[in-house]
Amino acid sequence: MPYQAEYIWIDGTEPSPLMRSKTKIIADGKTPPIWGFDGSSTNQATGDNSDCVLSPVFTCPDPLRGPDDILVLCEVLTVDGKPHPTNTRAKLVSTARKYAKYEPFFGLEQEYTFIQNDRPYGWPENGYPAPQGPYYCGVGGDMMPGRDIVETHTAACLIAGLSIEGTNAEVMMAQWEFQIGALPPLEVADQLWVARWLLFRIAEDFGVYATLEPKPILGDWNGAGCHTNFSTNQMRADGGWKYIIQGAEALGRNVTEHIENYGVGIELRLTGHHETAHYTQFSYGVSDRGASVRIPWICNVEKKGYLEDRRPNANMDPYTVTRLMVNTICSDADKKSPIKSAAPKKAAPKKAAAKKTAAKKAPAKKAATRR
């Protein structure tokens, strides 16, 4: 029996790209082929030369449809098979390959805000809710609008086999977070895009939308970021504290390039208030959520682990952010404490089995795969 494949891609809208998708019916036993779309309608081509190519890079079970249906994340190519100018994934591929010997891993904390009727979900029609304080990881009453959407999204990510690590309500009312990781750069970026698509699609069913705007409400309200946790094999090993500090200092020597690529509107969010460091400054410290880079307390105790770059916006491109962090930190390590490349190994295509969830019992689904 034929199955449905939802092809998902990132468009060329500026200043922040949008997600697009469309459905292809595929014959039983066939794998998702390359496909095409009208790039003149997605800010990726002109009308007189409008064809763009969708090349599948990651597939997983579709938790919103039948047991055999799948989601297909694609990168965009030109008709001659080259990466489209809007394809930021292609640049990450070469950087990840170059520094694979450091085995970089990421955990991404995606914050977002539910919006309905042009205001945060659950906010009064006129005025504001109670000041920030009770909402972060809160529970009960009308303080936590959107929990039903969050629970549905979490269950969907589990059924899809994504590496979702948790969720929580955030500091501003109607703001929430989910975490993806810990995974290598390509895997974590692919999965974050798919998790974002599921969030946007599920929110449709509840009559709201989820925005990744970094400062949806101006004033004394927290913005939305995507705190980016990073480690290498050197940082994770005994004695890794030295390399954590080395990585933080490397980031501090390359502030401008990172800030310019950490998401549109970063100056609205990184003000030096609301648990941020000012975007024109750089600092790092243990347990310091007012620093550019936080080193968790447990890493200070164990003298190994990871660091958290708190600067990326919620609307950041994970392909770009992971590429910059790998390049900045690992190129610095190459100069100061290089490690030899491991002998190349042939590996079978990675598969992530669909996870079970108590929220919804699902039939067996196809496993997630990358290309």
Query: pLDDT value at position 369?
Result: 65
In whole angstroms, what is the distance from residue 249 CA to residue 229 CA? 15
The CATH number corresponding to 94-336 among 3.50.30.30, 1.20.1560.10, 3.40.50.720, 3.30.590.10 equals 3.30.590.10
- What is the dotted CATH code of the domain comprising 3-87+348-370? 3.10.20.70
Any idea what the Cα angle at residue 303 is, between residues 318 and 164, rounded to 5°? 35
Query: pLDDT value at position 357?
Result: 38
Query: pLDDT value at position 339?
Result: 78
Query: pLDDT value at position 337?
Result: 76
DSSP-derived secondary structure letter, 352: E
In whole angstroms, what is the distance from residue 26 CA to residue 3 CA? 5
- Each of the 371 residues of the chain gets a pLDDT tens digit; together they read 999 999 999 999 999 999 999 999 999 999 999 999 999 999 999 999 999 999 999 999 999 999 999 999 999 999 999 999 999 999 999 999 999 999 999 999 999 999 999 999 999 999 999 999 999 999 987 889 999 999 999 999 999 999 999 999 999 999 999 999 999 999 999 999 999 999 999 999 999 999 999 999 999 999 999 999 999 999 999 999 999 999 999 999 999 999 999 999 999 999 999 999 999 999 999 999 999 999 999 999 999 999 999 999 999 999 999 999 999 999 999 998 787 765 555 544 444 444 433 334 333 445 566 66
Query: pLDDT value at position 356?
Result: 39
Query: pLDDT value at position 343?
Result: 52
Question: Domain boundaries in the chain?
Answer: 3-87+348-370, 94-336
Query: pLDDT value at position 365?
Result: 45
CA-closest candidate to residue 184, choices 343, 367, 42, 58: 58
At residue 284, what are phi and psi to the nearest 5 degrees? -145, 155
- What is the SS3 assignment for 152? helix
